[in-house]
Amino acid sequence: MRLRRRDANILRLSAAMFASSIVDAFRDDRLKAFQSRLASLDALLLDDFRLLADKQATEREVLRQIETLTARGVQVVVTSDEPSRLKGAHAVEVGYPDGAARAEIARRVAAAQRVTLPEEVLRYVTEQTTGSAPELRSMILRIAAEAQLDR
């Protein structure tokens, strides 16, 4: 992604939330306003595109919006656990984070949540979680919630 401006207008959200916004715009007769807002973007980051797989009409409309944006020069980044059906898309397989990356993710999630976790707990979490960053985040949040209940 080549956005070098600090004031770049970037929208990041889940593909499901993006799809919901499109549906709401259709329902409320605000599609033009929605498209206008998208047109002002420099980049759109959509996470978990695979969640739209069972919703063909919604997926089609999301794809149409993405194609419109890319035609206007908006950079679009989509994550998915499945192969992309985007025209002209460049697919890059990204593996799960290694132990050091998981540890850093755990530290950052804990810090963002203002949770202090002992180093041995962080080590345990990173050893027990070998999957994605969202899985690791979920585990940290669960530990934090349980710690709150114990107080």
- Structural domain boundaries in the chain: 10-78, 99-150
Residue 85 is predicted with a pLDDT of 64
Residue 24 is predicted with a pLDDT of 92
Q: SS3 of 92, please?
A: coil
In the chain, the amino acid numbered 17 is M
pTM of the model: 0.61
Please list the pLDDT of the chain residue by residue as tens digits (151 residues): 455 667 888 999 888 888 889 889 988 999 889 888 888 999 988 888 777 777 788 878 888 888 888 888 888 888 877 766 666 667 677 778 888 888 888 888 888 888 888 889 888 888 888 777 788 888 888 888 887 777 6
For domain 10-78, give the fold.
Answer: Rossmann fold (3.40.50)
**CA R_g for the chain:** 19
Q: What is the DSSP string of 8-45?
A: --EEEEEHHHHHHHHHHHHHTT-HHHHHHHHHT-SEEE
